[in-house]
Structure 1
């Protein structure tokens, strides 16, 4: 199975990069992992709603240009479905069994995902009603994907 993470912006902090590298290495036993970053747009202080919409649109177009048509797209969004780790593992296993060989997770920038990206998504997933920095969200997502594969393979993992 191929797992792709499409995200806006670069990870600047070394501790986040180290955590991403560690979970990427662990996950390589189970799936081919690809992390694709697109350029983020600067958001001016006190940006209007129209300016924010335009920024999300531009970032969304960059994301959509990278995502293959054949991928099953999972948008990470506060309004998405909240799952337990076991249910996320079941969702990934179900997709694999149904012939979906490429799952693309999409993480937006600081303003979230555009309507166009949300329309392209096959599924919307929320990790919490809380807002997380998109750099930290990559680490959390990778850990949960790794945990999912451990669950799928009936391998122990701390709870």
Structure 2
């Protein structure tokens, strides 16, 4: 199963981009033996529309254009379901074992994600009830995806 991250907003060069890249690189190397493949991070510019609802609608259009046919869509949203790392790993494993070819995980912009996407998504997850900066969410997601592969492979990186 191919894993793609869709992110509204671009990471500028610096420590956040380096750290996120480090985890995505680790993911790339650990995923293949599990029947997973990290494809890439798709970054799109934030909409410049004059109001939040229009910005979110325009960003949703960009996400839909990038979404492969039949892909599992998981949204990162503060109202989403909180789960521990093992449950996240098992969720990815379940999608893979169901024969899903693509998994896209979406990170919204400053205004969040358009509500229409919630109706279309397979799942909505949160990294806690606090609001996180976009750069940190990218790092957290990269680390959790890498951690999921270590859990699924029985690697000692994850110790509960």
Determine the structure 1 residue equivalent to 2:47.
Answer: 41
Change (3 A) 1:91 1:158: closer
Using the TM superposition, give the Cα deviation of residue 115 of structure 1 relative to its aligned residue in structure 2, in angstroms: 1.4
Number of corresponding residues? 153
Q: Distance in 1 between matches of 2:107 and 2:101?
A: 20
Determine the structure 1 residue equivalent to 2:135.
Answer: 135
- Give the root-mean-square deviation of aligned CA atoms: 1.5
Determine the structure 1 residue equivalent to 2:34.
Answer: none
Using the TM superposition, give the Cα deviation of residue 158 of structure 1 relative to its aligned residue in structure 2, in angstroms: 4.8
Determine the structure 2 residue equivalent to 1:47.
Answer: none
- TM-score, normalization: structure 2? 0.89
- TM-score, normalization: structure 1? 0.90
Question: Which of structure 1's runs of 4+ aligned residues deviate more than 6 A?
Answer: none
Using the TM superposition, give the Cα deviation of residue 12 of structure 1 relative to its aligned residue in structure 2, in angstroms: 1.5
Give the match's secondary structure for 1:28: helix
CA contact (8 A) 2:150 2:158 kept: no
Pairing 1:1-159 to 2, within 5 Å after superposition: 1-29=1-29, 30=31, 31-42=37-48, 51-159=51-159
Query: Deviations 1:3-23 (Å, cap 9, x if unpaired)?
Result: 100010100241111012211
Query: Deviations 1:2-46 (Å, cap 9, x if unpaired)?
Result: 1100010100241111012211210112123311011102477xx
Give the match's secondary structure for 1:10: coil
CA contact (8 A) 1:75 1:125 kept: yes
Q: Distance in 2 between matches of 1:101 and 1:23?
A: 22
CA contact (8 A) 2:4 2:105 kept: yes
Give the match's secondary structure for 1:93: helix
CA contact (8 A) 1:27 1:33 kept: no
CA contact (8 A) 1:4 1:34 kept: yes
